[in-house]
Amino acid sequence: MTAMIDLPQAEPAAQAPERKSKAGGSLGKYLLIRFFLIFPTILILVTMVFFLMRLTGDPITAALGGRLAPDQLAQRIHEAGYDRPIFIQYFEYLGQIATGNFGRTISDNLAISDMLATYGTATLELAINSLIVALAIGIPLGMLAAYKRDKYQDAILRVLAISFYATPVFFAGLLLKLVFSIWLGWFPVSGRAGTSTEIAMASLAAPTGIYWLDALRSGNMDAFWDIAQHSVLPAVALGLLTAGIFLRLVRTNVIGTLSKDYVEAGRSRGVSEYRLLTKHAYKPALIPIITVMGLQIALLLGGAVLTETTFEWKGLGFQLAHYLTARDFVAVQGIVALLAVIVAITNFIVDVVAALIDPRVRY
């Protein structure tokens, strides 16, 4: 939720290490250095989680302690190699990751890669849905707020944006459930789809894992309708959180471009205020908006954990909470590694886009 606040220092600092490590030179060199910074980011997060999880003991005791006799427990710990020095285990783990072998979950014995694929697509679907909601709400309202700057509409919209941010996803979800599922009965309370749809989706050959896409591809319109109904409330709950940020972002940037000389010049030529807003001011404002949007991925992933738990949407976040409670270290490390990769790559893309657009970023 960090990026809600646009402190003056926040964005420039994101590029600080690259700027420093680069004293004049070509775009190619900048991109190369920036690319190699992906790896330490992932390594640091994976390392942190590895050692944090080991602070609580070994995975076998954590998962099975109390259910097995002490000698059996010791036997299994020894077999799994968890009684060896932690640094040996750590480097062994790094070696495994490097070769793409993430191991199997302890609690339900799934291959980590399968687990990530199954639940990752569910999270991806939720993220896409909520991004659509956020853009549909945030951009028009942000432009309106910029246009009506310092009038009462602006004040209302700004307070609205802050309220979106101030409302935790699970409370928004609770209110949405109360109003739209319980009192009005329009949408189901939780889940990704009804039972019959779940079965239909599971029996598809070569599914993408994104339900509405699968339903469309197989031409199953009943299933699509069912999925759409299930998607609305989670998408709105998570979407509103991000919509507040987009609203503010669009507002600030459009206000910035609206005050530029060329807009003033357009106004003096008699260009309509509406056209000034939508053509002259909006498009240049998009560049910083897109960059910051990329940085919202962390917020979206954090929000996804809460949304998934609220709506029993079986995605990565839901499973992460579940595996953490079960002390399934291998699964937790796998999920964190995947999320670290996503975050690092998104930030890389954002920086590349920023560098391509604005030469000042790369000096």
* Near other proteins in 236-295, by CB under 8 A: 255, 258-259, 264, 295
Distance CA 80, CA 75 (A): 9
- The nearer residue to other proteins, 77 or 340, going by C-beta atoms, is 340
Task: Give the distance, in angstroms, between the CA of residue 167 and the centroid of all CA atoms in the same chain.
Answer: 18
- The nearer residue to other proteins, 305 or 361, going by C-beta atoms, is 305
User: What angle is formed at CA 351 by the lines to CA 348 and CA 352, rounded to 5 degrees?
Assistant: 85
314 binds other proteins (CB under 8 A): no
Exactly one of 133, 237, 343, 355 binds other proteins (CB under 8 A); which one? 343
Region of 23-31, 83-91, 206-214, 318-326 interacting with other proteins (CB under 8 A): 318-326
Region of 113-121, 210-218, 221-229, 320-328 interacting with other proteins (CB under 8 A): 320-328
Beta bridge partner(s), residue 111: 104
Region of 2-10, 23-31, 64-72, 133-141 interacting with other proteins (CB under 8 A): 2-10
Exactly one of 327, 351, 355, 362 binds other proteins (CB under 8 A); which one? 327
- The footprint of other proteins on residues 61-80 (CB under 8 A) is none
Least Cβ distance, residue 301 to other proteins (angstroms): 5
Concatenated DSSP letters of 139-208: HHHHHHHHHTTTSHHHHHHHHHHHHHHHS-HHHHHHHHIIIIIIIS--S-SSSSS-HHHHHHHHTSSS--
325 binds other proteins (CB under 8 A): yes
Exactly one of 163, 196, 208, 272 binds other proteins (CB under 8 A); which one? 163
Least Cβ distance, residue 2 to other proteins (angstroms): 6
DSSP state of 43: H
Least Cβ distance, residue 317 to other proteins (angstroms): 8
- The nearer residue to other proteins, 5 or 221, going by C-beta atoms, is 5
Distance CA 243, CA 293 (A): 11
Least Cβ distance, residue 6 to other proteins (angstroms): 8
Q: Write down the H helix ranges in 190-328.
A: 195-202, 211-217, 221-258, 261-268, 273-275, 282-295, 297-310, 316-325
Per-residue buried b or exposed e for 154-171, using 16+ beta carbons within 10 Å of the residue's own CB: beebbebbeebbebebee
145 binds other proteins (CB under 8 A): no
Nearest to 126 by CA among 249, 3, 310, 334: 310
Least Cβ distance, residue 340 to other proteins (angstroms): 7
- The nearer residue to other proteins, 79 or 273, going by C-beta atoms, is 273
86 binds other proteins (CB under 8 A): no
Exactly one of 102, 165, 211, 212 binds other proteins (CB under 8 A); which one? 165
Task: Give the distance, in angstroms, between the CA of residue 92 and the centroid of all CA atoms in the same chain.
Answer: 29
Amino acid in position 311 = F
Q: Is 39 exposed, middle or buried (0-12, 13-18, 19+ CB in 10 A)?
A: exposed
321 binds other proteins (CB under 8 A): yes
- The footprint of other proteins on residues 170-209 (CB under 8 A) is 170-171, 173-175, 177-178, 181-183, 189-190
